[in-house]
Amino acid sequence: MKIAVMGFGVVGSGVANLIKKNAAVIKENTGAELEVKRILDIRDFENSEFAPLMTKNFADIENDDEIEVVVETMGGLNPAFEFVSRCLKRKKHVVSSNKELVVQKGFELLSLARENNVNFLFEASVGGGIPIIRPISRCLAGNRIDSIAGILNGTTNFIMTKMIMERTDFSSALALAQELGYAEKDPTADVEGIDTCRKICILASLVFGNQIYPEKVHTEGITKVTLEDAEFAGSFGYVIKLIAQARKLDNGKLYIIVSPALVSKGSMLAGVNDVFNACLVQGDMTGDILLYGKGAGSSATASAVVGDIIDCADNMEKRKVFGWKEEKDGMVEDYLMVPVSLFVRVKNENSAREEIEKLFPGAKILENAEELAFITAEETQKVLFEKLSASGLTVLSSIRVTTY
């Protein structure tokens, strides 16, 4: 089966390399004979072993009827959206690792795929090499899933691990993550939680059945988390992770949020370190399932892409039943209305301790010479933040505590 790859970056080159290296294994495991026929990129790769396959002209892929599956690893919306749409209209199956494309245009592209009786698959868009999309949409299809939560960004988890375990400063840890090919082209998307938000939106769309756009999801990154936060959290028995969560509330709406969060050291998520990701799925039949593995990097992500290509090879003549409907108004609850318990760090001054005890009765409090840290009981985020801003406390940080 002839394949084209659009975008010869970290993931696209990983796909070409994987198919070259493991073609015999793939054939033995699945019967599929995969061959990369064309690679589209605007850059020159004269010294690459794949140089003879390179083209800068999309028409070389679009008009080549021998190419049955197109891999989109360009990233970004433009021209990815146009190229993918045109491939689907030409009845080519498309496999994408592009989170931005899936999260903004997923419903449209899934509809286009359905109209043209081809597949649009995107396992590699969430969790790098970890199978997540297929297990959720197939293996767990007999469950009602009410909650998913996880660590979905390798770069930030790598940075937090380096900061906490090796006391590496933020920018050196980020530079290393970039060098290792984990970070996005613009690492702001990683450190500000934007990449994680795209991924939880994709998973939530799949689990809850309607497209969920990132604009509807409250998102905070890791740039404000300090070593002091990590130390106090450690003394309370927690680690700090960038956590994405999506769960159905009793009122039927969805609570979806991305933020740094305190995770109990006893939780399965607490031991997820370095570039590893993990997604905790709670099925009504299975109970908790943790999907764990490398969440970024060339070969791990290429493995997910190739899994989708093989799925296309198995479903050449018929489209898989897969995807979600368009967004539904009012699906996502205002996060401020949802109760949480909060870790707060304040200046140890004047009558700070008395004020904490008055505002948050029963809160556990720790202190050192300069600072106090405490964990509140559960209240709505609106009430918690209002109490803090109306108090005389000098708040240094506030981080949600998860129960996962």
Binding status of residue 184 toward ligand HSE by CB under 6 A: yes
Q: What whole-number distance in Å separates Cα of residue 47 and Cα of residue 45?
A: 6
- Closest to ligand HSE by CB, 41 or 190: 190
Question: Is position 267 an interface residue for ligand HSE (rule: CB under 6 A)?
Answer: no
Pick the closest to residue 370 from 390, 389, 343, 345 (CA basis): 345
Output the smallest distance, CB 302 to ligand HSE, in A: 12
Asked if 304 interacts with ligand HSE (CB under 6 A), we say: no
On whether the CB atoms of residues 5 and 38 are closer than 8 A, the answer is yes
- Residue 88 or 304: the one with the smaller Cβ distance to ligand HSE is 304
Considering only CA atoms, which of 199, 161, 193, 188 is closest in space to residue 301?
Answer: 199
Distance CA 314, CA 230 (A): 48
* Least distance in angstroms from the C-beta of 152 to ligand HSE: 7
User: Is there binding between residue 160 and ligand HSE (CB under 6 A)?
Assistant: no
Q: How many helices (H) and strands (E) does the chain have?
A: 13, 17
Among 33-41, 183-191, 244-252, 321-329, the segment contacting ligand HSE (CB under 6 A): 183-191
Closest separation between CB of residue 229 and ligand HSE, Å?
21
Nearest approach, Cβ of 156 to ligand HSE (angstroms)?
7
Smallest CA-to-CA distance from 217 within 182, 251, 236, 193 is with 193
Cis peptide before 131 (omega within 30 of 0): no
Closer of 182 and 404 to ligand HSE (Cβ): 182
323 belongs to the binding site for ligand HSE (CB under 6 A): no
Tokens of 379: 């209240």
Binding characters for ligand HSE, 363-402, by CB under 6 A (x = yes): ----------------------------------------
Burial class from Cβ neighbours inside 10 Å (0-12, 13-18, 19+) for residue 113 reads: buried
182 binds ligand HSE (CB under 6 A): yes
Angle subtended at Cα 170 by Cα 295 and Cα 226, rounded to the nearest 5 degrees: 105
Q: Which is nearer to ligand HSE, 130 or 338 (CB)?
A: 130
Residues of this chain, 195-254, that bind ligand HSE according to CB under 6 A: 195
The single residue among 12, 106, 129, 154 that binds ligand HSE, judged by CB under 6 A, is 154
Return the residue of 148, 201, 263, 296 that touches ligand HSE, per CB under 6 A: 296
Can you tell me which of 41, 72, 100, 190 binds ligand HSE, judged by CB under 6 A? Answer: 190
Residues designated catalytic: 199
- Within residues 71-130, the interface with ligand HSE by CB under 6 A covers 128
Binding mask 120-139 for ligand HSE (x = CB under 6 A): --------x-----------
| Among 214, 97, 100, 224, CA closest to 159 | 224
- Give the C-alpha separation, 87 to 113, whole Å: 10
Q: At what angle do helices 194-208 and 99-115 cross, to 10 degrees?
A: 30
State how far the Cα of 127 lies from the Cα of 115, in Å rounded to an integer. 28
Does residue 292 belong to the site contacting ligand HSE (CB under 6 A)?
no
Q: Which residues bind ligand HSE (CB under 6 A)?
A: 128, 153-155, 182-184, 190, 195, 295-296
